[in-house]
């Protein structure tokens, strides 16, 4: 199969190295402030990642000294006053939060996603990391859920994600105060998995990505990712048991399960045959897509 063409973006870098894709937010002169262009490009980048079977894990980081300083405030006091392309006020039923569109796309990802937070991550800069699976931070990273200090509320579906990641008490403290806090506090509060010197951050992220890519079934990881995230909203463990049973029944008969067992018995690295783009089990997806209405 020929290599997939590398997408060309204006506000992102998209770099595939072996089985690892690194997406770099690339407006370093603006601390990678979030724009609608960046929103569209991030959504497209995750579409491309899911379609490329050679990509087994995704790292998201920032260019320069920042991860993402939040929304670009160049429009001044009308930054968050939604208008259409003609300048008319957007209708309520058409007003979609851009950070939320990105967060929902990351939530749907079939590939595991690692945030390598290399500097300030504020507003949408931090909320976009919440549906990522693991967050690593450099020792000079800073975080802030600053919405109340701007007369706003948490976006990017973070009122759903943040309490599930760190617990309601910690989530409320950070959201109510809107303060910017250091990486050490993010670590203590459970927002990040670990803190590293700046020059080691990407290396640690890539090592974790390779651990996934070199040892696991891509289909198994894609299924497991959706099972864990979606069961956060289940009202009883029976819901998990239903899905576990269906998926295990199908996967247990698959080439990946056979390869997983035989590679273990033969004490060799696995070579899983199934592809995420074409070989997901018939029970996937097991949920009904939610509409914005």
- For the chain, the maximum distance between any two Cα atoms, rounded to a whole number of angstroms, is 66
Q: Is residue 3 in a domain?
A: no
Q: How many domains does the chain have?
A: 2
223 with 166, same domain: the answer is no
Interatomic CA distance for residues 226 and 86, integer angstroms: 39
Q: Which domain holds residue 48?
A: 12-212
Q: Is residue 163 in a domain?
A: yes
Interatomic CA distance for residues 202 and 110, integer angstroms: 22
- pLDDT mean by block of 10 residues, the chain; 293 residues: 76 98 97 95 98 98 97 60 57 75 98 98 98 98 96 96 98 98 98 98 98 98 97 96 97 96 97 97 94 85
127 with 146, same domain: the answer is yes
Tokens of 293: 């209405």
pLDDT of residue 88: 62
pLDDT of residue 4: 64
159 with 59, same domain: the answer is yes
- CATH number of the domain that residue 172 is part of: 3.90.226.10
Find where tokens 């698959």 sit: 254
Q: Is residue 258 in a domain?
A: yes
Tokens of 124: 């949408």
155 with 293, same domain: the answer is no
192 with 78, same domain: the answer is yes
pLDDT of residue 72: 82
118 with 35, same domain: the answer is yes
Which of 212, 243, 264 is at the close of a domain?
A: 212
Q: Is residue 5 in a domain?
A: no
pTM above 0.85, yes or no: yes
Interatomic CA distance for residues 25 and 2, integer angstroms: 27
Q: Is residue 7 in a domain?
A: no
150 with 237, same domain: the answer is no
115 with 193, same domain: the answer is yes
Find where tokens 């960046």 sit: 38
**Residues, the chain:** 293
Q: Is residue 240 in a domain?
A: yes
pLDDT of residue 172: 98
154 with 230, same domain: the answer is no
- CATH number of the domain that residue 285 is part of: 1.10.12.10
**Per-residue b or e along 51-88, where b marks 16 or more CB atoms closer than 10 Å to that residue's CB:** ebbebbbbbbbbbbebbbbbbbeeeeeeeeebeeeeee
Q: Is residue 265 in a domain?
A: yes
Burial of 95 (0-12, 13-18, 19+ CB in 10 A): exposed
pLDDT of residue 78: 46
Which of 151, 177, 212 is at the close of a domain?
A: 212
Q: Is residue 73 in a domain?
A: yes
85 with 122, same domain: the answer is yes
134 with 240, same domain: the answer is no
Which of 212, 246, 262 is at the close of a domain?
A: 212
81 with 49, same domain: the answer is yes
């Amino acid at each position: 199969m020929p290599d997939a063409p590398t997408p060309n973006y204006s506000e992102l870098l998209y770099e595939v190295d072996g089985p690892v894709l690194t997406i770099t937010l690339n407006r370093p002169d603006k601390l990678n402030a979030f724009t609608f262009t960046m929103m569209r490009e991030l959504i497209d980048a995750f579409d491309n990642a899911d379609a490329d079977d050679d990509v087994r894990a995704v790292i998201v980081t920032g260019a320069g000294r920042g991860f993402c300083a939040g929304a670009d405030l160049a429009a001044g006091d009308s930054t968050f006053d939604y208008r259409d392309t003609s300048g008319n006020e957007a209708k309520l039923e058409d007003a979609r939060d851009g950070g939320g569109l990105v967060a929902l796309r990351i939530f749907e990802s079939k590939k595991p996603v690692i945030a390598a937070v290399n500097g300030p991550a504020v507003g949408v800069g931090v909320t976009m990391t919440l549906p990522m699976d693991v967050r690593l931070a450099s020792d000079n990273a800073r975080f802030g859920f600053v919405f109340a200090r701007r007369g706003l509320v948490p976006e990017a579906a973070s009122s759903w994600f943040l309490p599930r990641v760190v617990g309601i008490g910690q989530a409320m403290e950070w959201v109510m105060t809107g303060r910017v806090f250091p990486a050490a506090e993010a670590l203590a509060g459970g927002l990040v998995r670990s803190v590293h010197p700046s020059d080691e951050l990407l290396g640690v992220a890539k090592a974790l990505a390779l651990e996934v890519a070199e040892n696991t079934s891509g289909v198994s990881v894609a299924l497991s990712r959706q099972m864990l995230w979606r069961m956060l909203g289940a009202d009883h463990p029976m819901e998990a048991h239903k899905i576990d049973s269906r998926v295990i029944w199908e996967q247990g008969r698959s080439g990946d399960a056979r390869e997983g067992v035989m590679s273990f018995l033969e004490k060799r690295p696995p070579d899983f045959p199934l592809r995420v783009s074409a070989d997901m089990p018939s029970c996937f997806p097991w949920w009904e897509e939610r509409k914005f209405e």
